[in-house]
Structure 1
Amino acid sequence: MRRRTGAAIAGAAALAWGEWLNWRWSRTLVGDRVGDAEAVVVLGYRNPGETVNLVNRWRVRAGLRSVAAGPAVSTRMIFSGGPTTGGTAEARLLADYARSQHAFVGPVFLEDRSRTTWENITQVIPLLAGVDRIKIVSQPAHALKARAYLRRQRPDLAARLVRAEDYRPGEWLLAKPLLAVYGLWTLRVLRGDERRGRGSR
Protein backbone atom coordinates (compact mmCIF):
# COMPACT_ATOMS: atom_id res chain seq x y z
CA MET A 1 0.00 0.00 0.00
CA ARG A 2 2.78 2.40 0.92
CA ARG A 3 4.60 1.63 -2.32
CA ARG A 4 1.49 2.41 -4.36
CA THR A 5 0.91 5.59 -2.41
CA GLY A 6 4.52 6.62 -2.88
CA ALA A 7 4.36 5.88 -6.60
CA ALA A 8 1.15 7.87 -6.91
CA ILE A 9 2.69 10.84 -5.11
CA ALA A 10 5.82 10.65 -7.27
CA GLY A 11 3.72 10.45 -10.42
CA ALA A 12 1.61 13.43 -9.40
CA ALA A 13 4.75 15.40 -8.54
CA ALA A 14 6.27 14.60 -11.96
CA LEU A 15 3.10 15.73 -13.72
CA ALA A 16 2.98 18.95 -11.69
CA TRP A 17 6.67 19.62 -12.36
CA GLY A 18 6.25 19.09 -16.10
CA GLU A 19 3.15 21.29 -16.14
CA TRP A 20 4.91 24.09 -14.23
CA LEU A 21 8.04 24.09 -16.39
CA ASN A 22 6.06 24.22 -19.62
CA TRP A 23 3.88 27.01 -18.18
CA ARG A 24 6.97 28.99 -17.18
CA TRP A 25 8.70 28.54 -20.53
CA SER A 26 5.60 29.76 -22.37
CA ARG A 27 5.83 33.04 -20.45
CA THR A 28 9.56 33.69 -20.75
CA LEU A 29 10.99 36.38 -23.07
CA VAL A 30 7.54 37.74 -23.95
CA GLY A 31 5.98 41.10 -23.25
CA ASP A 32 2.62 42.82 -23.47
CA ARG A 33 3.11 44.68 -26.72
CA VAL A 34 -0.10 45.98 -28.30
CA GLY A 35 -0.99 46.71 -31.91
CA ASP A 36 -3.26 45.67 -34.74
CA ALA A 37 -0.68 43.89 -36.93
CA GLU A 38 0.69 40.57 -35.76
CA ALA A 39 2.70 37.65 -37.06
CA VAL A 40 2.16 34.09 -35.87
CA VAL A 41 5.23 31.98 -36.63
CA VAL A 42 4.67 28.20 -36.57
CA LEU A 43 7.85 26.12 -36.50
CA GLY A 44 7.88 22.72 -38.18
CA TYR A 45 9.06 19.48 -36.59
CA ARG A 46 10.86 16.60 -38.34
CA ASN A 47 8.36 15.76 -41.07
CA PRO A 48 10.16 13.40 -43.49
CA GLY A 49 7.02 12.19 -45.26
CA GLU A 50 4.26 13.82 -47.27
CA THR A 51 1.72 13.48 -44.44
CA VAL A 52 1.71 15.98 -41.60
CA ASN A 53 2.86 14.25 -38.43
CA LEU A 54 1.17 14.40 -35.01
CA VAL A 55 3.41 17.12 -33.60
CA ASN A 56 3.03 19.35 -36.64
CA ARG A 57 -0.75 18.93 -36.65
CA TRP A 58 -0.81 20.12 -33.05
CA ARG A 59 1.50 23.04 -33.84
CA VAL A 60 -0.82 24.19 -36.63
CA ARG A 61 -3.79 24.06 -34.27
CA ALA A 62 -1.84 25.97 -31.61
CA GLY A 63 -0.88 28.53 -34.23
CA LEU A 64 -4.46 29.01 -35.36
CA ARG A 65 -5.76 29.45 -31.83
CA SER A 66 -2.99 32.03 -31.29
CA VAL A 67 -4.54 34.32 -33.90
CA ALA A 68 -5.99 37.35 -32.13
CA ALA A 69 -9.73 37.79 -32.47
CA GLY A 70 -11.34 40.89 -33.87
CA PRO A 71 -11.87 42.40 -37.32
CA ALA A 72 -9.36 45.19 -36.63
CA VAL A 73 -6.46 42.75 -36.17
CA SER A 74 -4.33 41.91 -39.19
CA THR A 75 -2.58 38.55 -38.82
CA ARG A 76 -0.01 37.00 -41.09
CA MET A 77 0.54 33.29 -40.53
CA ILE A 78 4.12 32.23 -41.16
CA PHE A 79 4.99 28.55 -41.48
CA SER A 80 8.69 27.76 -41.16
CA GLY A 81 10.61 24.63 -42.08
CA GLY A 82 12.49 23.27 -45.04
CA PRO A 83 12.44 19.75 -46.49
CA THR A 84 13.92 17.12 -44.20
CA THR A 85 14.57 14.37 -46.76
CA GLY A 86 14.47 16.20 -50.06
CA GLY A 87 10.67 16.06 -50.31
CA THR A 88 8.06 18.72 -49.67
CA ALA A 89 9.11 21.46 -47.27
CA GLU A 90 7.56 21.32 -43.82
CA ALA A 91 6.28 24.87 -44.27
CA ARG A 92 4.23 23.80 -47.30
CA LEU A 93 2.82 20.76 -45.49
CA LEU A 94 1.80 22.89 -42.50
CA ALA A 95 0.16 25.52 -44.67
CA ASP A 96 -1.74 22.93 -46.70
CA TYR A 97 -2.94 21.29 -43.50
CA ALA A 98 -4.11 24.62 -42.08
CA ARG A 99 -6.11 25.37 -45.19
CA SER A 100 -7.49 21.91 -45.99
CA GLN A 101 -8.26 20.67 -42.48
CA HIS A 102 -8.95 23.92 -40.61
CA ALA A 103 -10.22 26.14 -43.42
CA PHE A 104 -7.76 28.91 -42.63
CA VAL A 105 -8.21 31.68 -45.17
CA GLY A 106 -5.93 34.42 -43.82
CA PRO A 107 -2.60 35.55 -45.27
CA VAL A 108 0.03 32.79 -45.30
CA PHE A 109 3.78 33.18 -45.74
CA LEU A 110 6.17 30.27 -46.20
CA GLU A 111 9.77 30.00 -45.06
CA ASP A 112 10.81 26.74 -46.71
CA ARG A 113 14.60 26.61 -46.49
CA SER A 114 15.55 26.32 -42.83
CA ARG A 115 16.77 23.12 -41.21
CA THR A 116 17.57 24.30 -37.68
CA THR A 117 15.91 26.58 -35.13
CA TRP A 118 18.57 29.23 -35.68
CA GLU A 119 17.85 29.12 -39.42
CA ASN A 120 14.11 29.25 -38.74
CA ILE A 121 14.59 32.61 -37.09
CA THR A 122 17.15 33.93 -39.58
CA GLN A 123 14.88 33.13 -42.51
CA VAL A 124 11.62 34.47 -41.05
CA ILE A 125 13.08 37.84 -40.01
CA PRO A 126 12.35 39.46 -43.42
CA LEU A 127 8.72 38.32 -43.05
CA LEU A 128 8.31 40.14 -39.74
CA ALA A 129 8.68 43.66 -41.10
CA GLY A 130 5.91 46.02 -40.12
CA VAL A 131 4.18 43.91 -37.47
CA ASP A 132 3.45 45.15 -33.97
CA ARG A 133 3.41 41.77 -32.25
CA ILE A 134 5.19 38.47 -32.88
CA LYS A 135 4.05 35.09 -31.60
CA ILE A 136 6.27 32.03 -32.01
CA VAL A 137 4.46 28.71 -31.81
CA SER A 138 5.99 25.36 -30.88
CA GLN A 139 6.31 23.22 -27.77
CA PRO A 140 7.06 25.77 -24.99
CA ALA A 141 10.75 24.92 -24.59
CA HIS A 142 11.38 25.04 -28.33
CA ALA A 143 9.44 28.29 -28.69
CA LEU A 144 11.53 29.81 -25.89
CA LYS A 145 14.71 28.75 -27.67
CA ALA A 146 13.46 30.41 -30.86
CA ARG A 147 12.56 33.61 -28.99
CA ALA A 148 16.05 33.70 -27.47
CA TYR A 149 17.55 33.32 -30.94
CA LEU A 150 15.41 36.20 -32.21
CA ARG A 151 16.64 38.30 -29.29
CA ARG A 152 20.24 37.50 -30.26
CA GLN A 153 19.74 38.23 -33.94
CA ARG A 154 17.29 41.14 -33.81
CA PRO A 155 16.68 42.64 -30.36
CA ASP A 156 14.41 45.26 -31.88
CA LEU A 157 12.06 42.59 -33.18
CA ALA A 158 12.35 40.55 -29.98
CA ALA A 159 10.86 43.54 -28.15
CA ARG A 160 7.64 42.77 -30.06
CA LEU A 161 7.33 39.19 -28.80
CA VAL A 162 4.10 38.28 -27.03
CA ARG A 163 2.78 34.98 -25.74
CA ALA A 164 1.28 32.46 -28.14
CA GLU A 165 -1.39 29.93 -27.22
CA ASP A 166 0.98 26.97 -27.27
CA TYR A 167 0.48 26.18 -23.60
CA ARG A 168 -2.79 25.07 -22.09
CA PRO A 169 -3.21 23.45 -18.66
CA GLY A 170 -3.64 19.71 -18.97
CA GLU A 171 -2.78 19.53 -22.66
CA TRP A 172 -0.18 16.82 -23.37
CA LEU A 173 -0.43 16.16 -19.62
CA LEU A 174 1.14 12.71 -19.52
CA ALA A 175 3.89 13.75 -21.93
CA LYS A 176 4.79 16.98 -20.14
CA PRO A 177 7.35 15.44 -17.74
CA LEU A 178 9.19 13.99 -20.74
CA LEU A 179 8.83 17.26 -22.63
CA ALA A 180 10.23 19.05 -19.58
CA VAL A 181 13.28 16.77 -19.40
CA TYR A 182 13.89 17.11 -23.12
CA GLY A 183 13.32 20.85 -22.87
CA LEU A 184 15.93 21.23 -20.16
CA TRP A 185 18.40 19.39 -22.36
CA THR A 186 17.68 21.50 -25.47
CA LEU A 187 17.73 24.77 -23.52
CA ARG A 188 21.24 24.13 -22.22
CA VAL A 189 22.47 26.21 -25.20
CA LEU A 190 20.81 29.32 -23.77
CA ARG A 191 22.32 31.71 -21.27
CA GLY A 192 20.85 31.90 -17.80
CA ASP A 193 19.28 35.30 -18.43
CA GLU A 194 17.58 33.90 -21.54
CA ARG A 195 16.16 30.90 -19.71
CA ARG A 196 14.87 33.14 -16.92
CA GLY A 197 13.75 35.99 -19.15
CA ARG A 198 16.00 38.58 -17.57
CA GLY A 199 18.20 41.26 -19.06
CA SER A 200 17.62 43.64 -21.93
CA ARG A 201 15.23 42.79 -24.71
Structure 2
Amino acid sequence: MVVLGFGNRGARINSINRWRARIAVRTAHRAASRGAAVTIICSGGPVHGATPEADLLGAYIARELHWHGSVLVERTSVSTWENVRNVLPLIGGAQCVVFASNGLHAEKARNYLRRQRPDLAGLLAPADDYRPGEMIAVKPIFAAVGLWKLRAMFHVEQPRRC
Protein backbone atom coordinates (compact mmCIF):
# COMPACT_ATOMS: atom_id res chain seq x y z
CA MET A 1 0.00 0.00 0.00
CA VAL A 2 1.69 3.20 -1.16
CA VAL A 3 0.09 6.49 -0.16
CA LEU A 4 1.27 9.30 -2.43
CA GLY A 5 1.90 12.66 -0.81
CA PHE A 6 0.46 15.96 -2.02
CA GLY A 7 2.29 19.29 -1.76
CA ASN A 8 1.95 20.37 1.87
CA ARG A 9 2.87 23.79 3.21
CA GLY A 10 3.79 23.90 6.87
CA ALA A 11 3.94 21.23 9.54
CA ARG A 12 0.20 20.43 9.66
CA ILE A 13 -1.17 17.83 7.26
CA ASN A 14 -3.47 19.32 4.63
CA SER A 15 -6.92 18.06 3.63
CA ILE A 16 -5.71 16.32 0.46
CA ASN A 17 -3.08 14.34 2.34
CA ARG A 18 -5.66 13.45 5.02
CA TRP A 19 -7.98 12.19 2.24
CA ARG A 20 -5.22 10.10 0.69
CA ALA A 21 -4.33 8.69 4.13
CA ARG A 22 -7.97 7.68 4.68
CA ILE A 23 -7.97 5.92 1.30
CA ALA A 24 -4.82 4.03 2.30
CA VAL A 25 -6.12 2.97 5.70
CA ARG A 26 -9.55 1.83 4.54
CA THR A 27 -7.93 -0.14 1.69
CA ALA A 28 -5.40 -1.61 4.13
CA HIS A 29 -8.20 -2.64 6.51
CA ARG A 30 -10.04 -4.33 3.64
CA ALA A 31 -6.91 -6.26 2.63
CA ALA A 32 -6.09 -7.18 6.24
CA SER A 33 -9.63 -8.47 6.79
CA ARG A 34 -8.96 -10.91 3.93
CA GLY A 35 -5.81 -12.18 5.63
CA ALA A 36 -3.19 -10.10 3.81
CA ALA A 37 -0.15 -8.75 5.62
CA VAL A 38 -0.26 -5.02 4.93
CA THR A 39 2.46 -2.39 5.11
CA ILE A 40 1.57 1.22 4.37
CA ILE A 41 4.37 3.13 2.66
CA CYS A 42 4.06 6.92 2.88
CA SER A 43 5.90 8.61 0.04
CA GLY A 44 6.75 12.28 -0.39
CA GLY A 45 9.50 14.73 0.32
CA PRO A 46 9.38 18.33 1.50
CA VAL A 47 7.92 19.69 -1.75
CA HIS A 48 6.27 22.91 -0.51
CA GLY A 49 7.51 23.05 3.08
CA ALA A 50 10.25 21.92 5.43
CA THR A 51 8.48 18.73 6.58
CA PRO A 52 8.41 15.73 4.24
CA GLU A 53 4.90 14.77 3.19
CA ALA A 54 5.72 11.17 4.15
CA ASP A 55 6.30 12.16 7.78
CA LEU A 56 2.99 14.03 7.94
CA LEU A 57 1.15 11.10 6.36
CA GLY A 58 2.80 8.53 8.61
CA ALA A 59 2.02 10.44 11.79
CA TYR A 60 -1.59 11.05 10.74
CA ILE A 61 -2.12 7.40 9.80
CA ALA A 62 -0.79 6.17 13.15
CA ARG A 63 -2.16 8.84 15.50
CA GLU A 64 -5.42 9.99 13.95
CA LEU A 65 -6.52 7.00 11.90
CA HIS A 66 -5.25 4.50 14.49
CA TRP A 67 -3.49 2.21 12.04
CA HIS A 68 -1.50 -0.24 14.16
CA GLY A 69 0.16 -2.09 11.30
CA SER A 70 3.52 -1.45 9.71
CA VAL A 71 4.21 2.04 8.31
CA LEU A 72 7.31 2.91 6.30
CA VAL A 73 8.27 6.35 5.01
CA GLU A 74 10.07 7.48 1.87
CA ARG A 75 11.05 11.12 2.42
CA THR A 76 12.82 12.25 -0.76
CA SER A 77 10.35 12.16 -3.67
CA VAL A 78 9.22 15.43 -5.22
CA SER A 79 7.16 14.02 -8.12
CA THR A 80 4.93 11.05 -8.85
CA TRP A 81 7.65 9.49 -11.00
CA GLU A 82 10.05 9.72 -8.04
CA ASN A 83 7.38 8.38 -5.63
CA VAL A 84 7.16 5.24 -7.71
CA ARG A 85 10.91 4.91 -8.26
CA ASN A 86 11.81 5.52 -4.63
CA VAL A 87 9.33 3.06 -3.13
CA LEU A 88 10.47 0.19 -5.35
CA PRO A 89 13.08 -1.04 -2.82
CA LEU A 90 10.40 -0.94 -0.09
CA ILE A 91 7.86 -3.09 -1.96
CA GLY A 92 10.36 -5.90 -2.49
CA GLY A 93 8.41 -9.07 -1.72
CA ALA A 94 4.91 -7.62 -1.96
CA GLN A 95 2.14 -9.84 -3.28
CA CYS A 96 0.09 -6.81 -4.26
CA VAL A 97 0.86 -3.13 -5.00
CA VAL A 98 -1.80 -0.47 -4.38
CA PHE A 99 -1.40 3.28 -4.86
CA ALA A 100 -3.62 5.30 -2.52
CA SER A 101 -4.52 8.66 -3.97
CA ASN A 102 -7.35 10.20 -5.94
CA GLY A 103 -8.31 7.89 -8.80
CA LEU A 104 -6.56 9.48 -11.77
CA HIS A 105 -3.39 10.24 -9.79
CA ALA A 106 -3.25 6.60 -8.69
CA GLU A 107 -3.70 5.59 -12.34
CA LYS A 108 -0.75 7.81 -13.26
CA ALA A 109 1.36 6.07 -10.58
CA ARG A 110 0.28 2.63 -11.86
CA ASN A 111 1.34 3.63 -15.37
CA TYR A 112 4.69 4.86 -14.07
CA LEU A 113 5.20 1.52 -12.30
CA ARG A 114 4.42 -0.31 -15.54
CA ARG A 115 7.08 1.80 -17.30
CA GLN A 116 9.71 1.53 -14.57
CA ARG A 117 9.15 -2.12 -13.62
CA PRO A 118 6.97 -3.96 -16.14
CA ASP A 119 7.61 -7.18 -14.22
CA LEU A 120 5.58 -5.80 -11.28
CA ALA A 121 2.54 -4.76 -13.35
CA GLY A 122 0.71 -7.97 -12.50
CA LEU A 123 0.80 -7.04 -8.80
CA LEU A 124 -1.15 -3.79 -9.26
CA ALA A 125 -4.55 -3.52 -7.62
CA PRO A 126 -6.94 -0.59 -7.15
CA ALA A 127 -7.43 1.23 -3.87
CA ASP A 128 -10.79 1.79 -2.22
CA ASP A 129 -10.66 5.39 -3.44
CA TYR A 130 -14.31 6.18 -4.04
CA ARG A 131 -16.87 7.21 -1.44
CA PRO A 132 -20.03 9.04 -2.54
CA GLY A 133 -19.86 12.64 -1.36
CA GLU A 134 -16.28 12.42 -0.13
CA MET A 135 -14.23 15.50 -1.10
CA ILE A 136 -17.01 16.45 -3.51
CA ALA A 137 -15.75 20.02 -3.92
CA VAL A 138 -12.29 19.01 -5.18
CA LYS A 139 -13.03 15.85 -7.14
CA PRO A 140 -14.04 17.72 -10.33
CA ILE A 141 -10.80 19.71 -10.20
CA PHE A 142 -8.71 16.58 -9.65
CA ALA A 143 -10.59 14.82 -12.45
CA ALA A 144 -9.88 17.64 -14.91
CA VAL A 145 -6.23 17.93 -13.94
CA GLY A 146 -5.81 14.16 -13.84
CA LEU A 147 -7.27 13.67 -17.31
CA TRP A 148 -5.09 16.46 -18.67
CA LYS A 149 -1.96 14.90 -17.14
CA LEU A 150 -2.85 11.38 -18.28
CA ARG A 151 -3.46 12.69 -21.79
CA ALA A 152 -0.06 14.37 -21.74
CA MET A 153 1.49 11.14 -20.49
CA PHE A 154 0.21 9.19 -23.49
CA HIS A 155 0.43 11.94 -26.09
CA VAL A 156 2.94 11.13 -28.78
CA GLU A 157 4.05 13.95 -31.00
CA GLN A 158 3.33 13.15 -34.63
CA PRO A 159 6.30 13.50 -36.96
CA ARG A 160 6.31 16.67 -38.96
CA ARG A 161 5.37 16.20 -42.59
CA CYS A 162 6.92 18.29 -45.30
- Normalised TM-score (structure 1): 0.71
Quick check: 1:142 aligned with 2:93?
Answer: no
Q: 1:51 aligns with which of 6, 9, 12?
A: 12
CA contact (8 A) 2:44 2:77 kept: yes
Q: For 2:140 and 2:8, locate their aligned partners in 1 and report how far apart those are by CA, in whole Å.
A: 23
Deviation string, structure 1 residues 147-199 (Cα, Å, up to 9, x no partner) = 0000000011121001111123343334333222111212123227xxxxxxx
Select the structure with the greater relative contact order (CA < 8 A; seq sep ≥ 6): 1
Within 5 Å, which residues of 2 pair with 1:78-89? 78-85=41-48, 87-89=50-52
Deviation string, structure 1 residues 125-156 (Cα, Å, up to 9, x no partner) = 11111111111011111111110000000011
CA contact (8 A) 1:148 1:190 kept: no
Quick check: 1:162 aligned with 2:125?
Answer: yes
Within 5 Å, which residues of 2 pair with 1:77-156? 77-85=40-48, 87-156=50-119
Shift of 1:110: 0.7
CA contact (8 A) 2:104 2:146 kept: yes
Figure out how many residues of one structure are paired with residues of the other and give that number: 153
Q: For 2:131 and 2:154, locate their aligned partners in 1 and report how far apart those are by CA, in whole Å.
A: 26
Q: Secondary structure at the match of 2:47?
A: coil
CA contact (8 A) 1:134 1:160 kept: yes
- Computed over aligned residues only, the root mean square deviation of the Cα atoms, in angstroms, reads 1.6
2:103 alignment partner AA: P
In the alignment, which residue of structure 1 is the partner of 2:23?
62
Q: For 1:180 and 1:78, locate their aligned partners in 2 and report how far apart those are by CA, in whole Å.
A: 24
User: Which consecutive residues of structure 2, in runs of 5 or more, have no partner in the other structure?
Assistant: 156-162
User: Which consecutive residues of structure 1, in runs of 5 or more, have no partner in the other structure?
Assistant: 1-39, 193-201
In the alignment, which residue of structure 1 is the partner of 2:144?
181
Q: Which runs of 4+ in 1 moved over 6 A?
A: none
CA contact (8 A) 2:84 2:109 kept: yes
Note closer, same or farther for the CA distance 1:83–1:176 as it changes in structure 2 (3 Å cut). closer
Q: For 1:89 and 1:101, locate their aligned partners in 2 and report how far apart those are by CA, in whole Å.
A: 18
Q: For 2:49 and 2:18, locate their aligned partners in 1 and report how far apart those are by CA, in whole Å.
A: 20
Identity in percent = 46
Q: For 2:126 and 2:113, locate their aligned partners in 1 and report how far apart those are by CA, in whole Å.
A: 14
